[in-house]
Amino acid sequence: MLLALYCFPARGEFLTVTSLSYAADVPLATGIRWQKELWKQRMIERGPDGIDARKKFIRLTAAGKAMMNRILIRLFHFEPVTLPDRRSIANSLAGSASGAAHSPASIVSTPARG
């Protein structure tokens, strides 16, 4: 989802709640759930369509863009990036449901060099 939000606007394409789920190739319910989590973490923001008030466009916030820039720079320079596994994602979501805040940026880390 974050990669789609990073790339599509540069091509002049803007994503709605539904189209972002399709772009990420996830079921709509899953997409909405993840968008809600990303919104809570202030990685994305929603804004109205200027013509149709029922549509909400989704875009990265400055924090979301900065995080994507860091990840893509690491990937471009082949620096090791530790991506979360399913268990850590589930724990993060469970923690946010209980009130604990976990940012997506805190899940992605670079291993210590030694």
pLDDT tens-digit series, residues 11-66: 888 899 899 999 889 999 999 999 999 999 999 998 876 677 777 889 999 999 99
* Residues present in the chain in total: 114
108 pLDDT more than 60: no
| Structural domain for 54, as ranges | 2-78
Q: What is the CATH number of the domain that holds 67?
A: 1.10.10.10
Question: Is 105 inside any structural domain?
Answer: no
**Assigned domain for 111 exists:** no
Is residue 101 included in any domain, yes or no? no
Residue 40 lies in a domain: yes
In a domain, 108, yes or no: no
> Considering the domain boundaries, does residue 18 fall inside one?
yes
Domain annotation covers residue 110 = no
Amino acid letter for position 80: P
Does 56 reside within a domain?
Answer: yes
In the predicted structure, residue 114 carries a pLDDT above the cut 50 = no
Number of structural domains (the chain) is: 1
Indicate whether 10 pLDDT > 50: yes
